[in-house]
Amino acid sequence: MKVILLFIVLTPLIGFLINGIFGKWTKPVAGIIAASALGISFILGLFPIWSVLHGHIVEFTYFTWMPFKGLEVPFGLRVDYVSAVMLFVVTFVSWMIHIYSNGYMAGDRGYARYFAYLNLFVTAMLILVLGNNYLLMFVGWEGVGLASYLLIGFWYEKDTAADAGEKAFVVNRIGDAGFIIGILFLIYHFGSVTYSNVFPRAEEVLGYGSTAATIIGLALFVGAVGKSAQFPLYIWLTDAMEGPTPVSSLIHAATMVTAGVYMVARSNAIYSLAPVAQEVVASVGAFTAFYAATMALTHKDIKRILAYSTLSQLGYMFIGVGVGAYWTGMFHLMTHAFFKGLLFLGAGAVMHSMRGLLSIDLMGNLKKYMPQTAILMVIASLAISGIPPFAGFFSKDAILASALEMGHPIIWIVGEVTAFLTAFYMFRFVFNVFYGEEKVEGLYHDLHTHEAPPVMTIPMWVLGILSIVGGWVGIKFGGHIPFEWFVTHTAPTTEVAHEAHYSEALLMGISVTMGLSGILAAWLIYIKKIITADKIANMFKPIYTLLANTYYVDEFVYCCIVKPFWWVSTNFLWKIVDVILIDKGMVDGAGWIAGRVGRGLRLLQTGFVNNYAYWISMGIIILSGWYLVKII
Amino acid sequence: MLTQYMVVSALLIAIGATGVMIRRNFMIVLMSLEIMINGAGLLLITMSYYIGNVSGQVMFLFVAAVAASETAVGLAIAVMMYKRKKSVDINDFSILRK
């Protein structure tokens, strides 16, 4: 088991090395190498998952990575009830997307490079998920950031793609700073970063509601805000859509962006001690869920609609982990990976056959040309809208129900409104792209629009099936919910003093009504056209403009942060600090001093042997005199 | 007795050092060096005898060997110097300065 566990991480790394080093020669088979590496990794991953299902947590330490006095950081891997879920989701969804990429990226110049990066990403993600301590998680955390940067800027000839990669990297750095601060606090308080040392002692060391627990929780959450693109550090995610679509699917929807949720669920022992930090997590999640959903309403670019939707769904996950019902966050993380992965793959299939066109204004009635993609997109959209029996219903309902039970009625209301918006914008997308009539006459004929090849549709079908059945582990079975039972072994739900109880059927009914009415509204507007979208846009002109410009946040950031930063950098850091202090003062100054001193010392070099002998003798006399004085 | 021996060796070293410092003829400098080494050697043997430990005398054998080889090298250098400049005045050889 020890070797198997190591090879789960190593196999994608080997794939990365093969394609990364020998990419020139492996180009025709790069995709096959990468996908099989992931396949092996997935199958190996089933062994520890099986063991965990039977109640044995798998943990091995391979070597001591950083031996310090008072702090020992091991290189160890751990599969417990939380990381087993992540291990399954990451390896499986990655595998599907690797297969899909074989079709999507076919013929691209950087084919081998693409798969090398993709494998590098999975390696880092697995280190993040499987590491048995916070520092190892941080290694993976940075690794996925790097892979994300490389893949967003994959088509680096395009300025927008290169800029988007840079933006993602810089914004993530802000979050990472918070994460590092959190880890340092942990080291300060616990003298260890290993989960098995920290969590059991958390209550005794920190104490319930202590400032230390709150600070650690908030600092770690800053990291999660950056990586999981929550308000206000979400701005990088929509730009990240410049990368290839399978990348958006894998990294910016299914796996990497959920790392923050995983981290909070992982640190449940700390968050359960810090009610303030929990409140912040849940509130930021609820706000982002609603805020991002409103922005998804007006966008016309299919990938950006999905990007905003991802932000919104990540917000739901943070509601789940924030109110203390960690299993609901993990549950939504899993189902979201299935249906959002599928949505992006579907969008990719559309782009593939539309030669990269993205605007919903150009599409319509695509189901005639791409029937399979259309069906799958409807399945995924029903799942995300929370319609039973699709996967999203169970997880979203679990999150909203626990928000209410844990005593957060406002968050519940926001969540329900967002559920309506989610259903509306998803079906706006579906109806505009796959139904209705063709908006541009003869466009499909000119583009030879056709269904995607099987190498792309098969992974989509697999995810499609999981988008239906993936949520069934959340059905009450013999008195308890299997998924809850599973995750709460590692991440027990926070206990609250006044747990409220509501009729489950009533809550489900409200959720489903919200979803259905969203779909109905989209149907009335975009299919029946009882009122056109333009008319509504005109009626709420100011709001529409605000939404279409995504609340001017990018402009705000540019004016208030980037520009002043630029000004200070140019006028102070460059012209004063760099040119005057560093170049003139330190660099030139060091040379000037050395020159002066050298000129003085040169006088000692006479070239006459007698003089040298004289100085040597003097030296000896002075030294021996000094020793003599010391002895006496 | 010890004091006399020590004074003699100190004098030898001082005379040698003075010679090295003030003389310009390379041959004299070499000879002065030789005097210094012998002064040191005398001190070694004296102390060895005084303490009753033979290692000082053994060390003098090594010193003598080193001194012999040093003289050989020194003389070879002197010959080369004379070949180049027809002089053994060490002030003619101040190229290190440049």
Q: Which residues contact B76 (CB under 8 A, 6 or more apart)?
A: none
Average pLDDT over residues A504-518: 89
Reported as a single tens digit per residue, the pLDDT across A439-465 is: 777 777 777 788 888 889 999 999 999
Cα–Cα distance list, A621 to A625, B22, B35 (Å): 6, 17, 18
ipTM, two decimals, is: 0.77
Q: How far does the CA of residue A617 sit from the closest CA of chain B (Å)?
A: 8
Average pLDDT over residues A193-209: 88
Residues of B in contact with A608 (CB under 8 A): 90-91, 94
Instruction: Round to whole Å and give the CA distance between A217 and A494.
Output: 14
CA atoms within 13 A on the CB side of A162: 4
Count of CB atoms situated within 10 Å of the CB of A342: 31
Tokens 């969804």 correspond to A93
**Residue A618 in this model has a pLDDT that exceeds 70:** yes
Return the amino acid letter for A442: G
Would the CB atoms of B96 and A605 count as touching at under 8 Å? yes
Tokens 């879920």 correspond to A85
Mutate one of B13, B15, B18, B20 to test the A interface: name it (highest A CB count within 10 A): B20
Residue of B nearest to A611 (CA): B21
What's the pLDDT at A338?
Answer: 93
What's A564-629 look like in SS3?
HHHHHHHHHHHHHHHHHHHHHHHHHHHHHHHHHHHHHHHCCCCCCHHHHHHHHHHHHHHHHHHHHH
What's the pLDDT at A585?
Answer: 86
Chain centroid to Cα A612, Å, comes to 70
Instruction: Round to whole Å and give the CA distance between B20 and A610.
Output: 7
Listed as ranges, residues in chain B with pLDDT below 50 are: none
Q: Do the bridges between strand A71-79 and strand A58-68 make them parallel or antiparallel, or are there none, so unpaired? A: antiparallel
Q: How confident is the model at residue A533 (pLDDT cuts 50, 70, 90)?
A: confident
Three-state secondary-structure class, residue A64: strand
Q: How confident is the model at residue A475 (pLDDT cuts 50, 70, 90)?
A: confident
Instruction: Round to whole Å and give the CA distance between A541 and A537.
Output: 6
What's the pLDDT at B98?
Answer: 56
Would the CB atoms of A607 and B24 count as touching at under 8 Å? no
Residue-by-residue DSSP string for A177-240: HHHHHHHHHHHHHHS--BHHHHHHHHHHHH-TT-HHHHHHHHHHHHHHHHHTT-TTTTHHHHHG
Instruction: Round to whole Å and give the CA distance between A126 and A279.
Output: 29
Residues of B in contact with A609 (CB under 8 A): 29, 90, 93
Reported as a single tens digit per residue, the pLDDT across A347-367 is: 999 888 888 778 888 888 888
What's the pLDDT at A627?
Answer: 93
A538 interface with B at CB cutoff 8 Å:
no
A605 interface with B at CB cutoff 8 Å:
yes
Average pLDDT over residues A317-342: 92
What's the pLDDT at A260?
Answer: 92
Tokens 């779909």 correspond to A519
Instruction: Round to whole Å and give the CA distance between A60 and A77.
Output: 6
Q: Give contacts of A 489-508 with B, CB under 8 A.
A: none
Instruction: Round to whole Å and give the CA distance between A36 and A40.
Output: 6
Three-state secondary-structure class, residue B5: helix
Cis omega (within 30 of 0) for bond into A453: no
Q: Which residues contact A195 (CB under 8 A, 6 or more apart)?
A: A78, A132, A133, A134, A266
**A379 neighbors A467 (Cβ within 8 angstroms):** yes
The pair of three-digit structure tokens given for residue A144, joined into one six-digit string = 């996925």
Would the CB atoms of B94 and A613 count as touching at under 8 Å? no
**Residue A406 in this model has a pLDDT that exceeds 70:** yes
Instruction: Round to whole Å and give the CA distance between A154 and A146.
Output: 12
Tokens 């992540």 correspond to A86
Q: Which residues contact A74 (CB under 8 A, 6 or more apart)?
A: A61, A62, A63, A64, A65, A132, A133, A194
Q: Give contacts of A 370-389 with B, CB under 8 A.
A: none
Q: Give contacts of B 24-43 with A, CB under 8 A.
A: 24, 29
Instruction: Round to whole Å and give the CA distance between A244 and A154.
Output: 7
**pTM score:** 0.79
Q: How far does the CA of residue B92 sit from the closest CA of chain A (Å)?
A: 9
Scored b (16 or more CB within 10 A) or e, A283-311 reads bbbbbbbbbbbbbbbbbeebbbbbbbbbb
Q: How confident is the model at residue A204 (pLDDT cuts 50, 70, 90)?
A: confident
Would the CB atoms of B17 and A617 count as touching at under 8 Å? yes
Instruction: Round to whole Å and give the CA distance between A128 and A113.
Output: 22
**B12 neighbors B76 (Cβ within 8 angstroms):** no
Mean pLDDT score of chain B, rounded to an integer? 89
What's the pLDDT at B61?
Answer: 93
Instruction: Round to whole Å and give the CA distance between A345 and A100.
Output: 8
Rg of chain B on CA atoms, in Å: 16
Reported as a single tens digit per residue, the pLDDT across A254-267 is: 889 999 999 999 99
**Residue A572 in this model has a pLDDT that exceeds 60:** yes
Tokens 């198997």 correspond to A4
Mean pLDDT score of chain A, rounded to an integer? 89
Reported as a single tens digit per residue, the pLDDT across A42-95 is: 999 999 999 999 988 889 999 998 888 888 899 999 999 999 999 999 999 999
Tokens 């919910």 correspond to A481
The pair of three-digit structure tokens given for residue A21, joined into one six-digit string = 């080093």
**Residue A622 in this model has a pLDDT that exceeds 90:** yes
**Residue A207 in this model has a pLDDT that exceeds 90:** no
Q: Please name the helix (run of DSSP H) or strand (run of DSSP E) that holds residue A522, with its range, or none.
A: helix A504-523
Mutate one of A604, A610, A614 to test the B interface: name it (highest B CB count within 10 A): A610
Q: Which residues contact A472 (CB under 8 A, 6 or more apart)?
A: A389, A391, A394
A613 interface with B at CB cutoff 8 Å:
yes
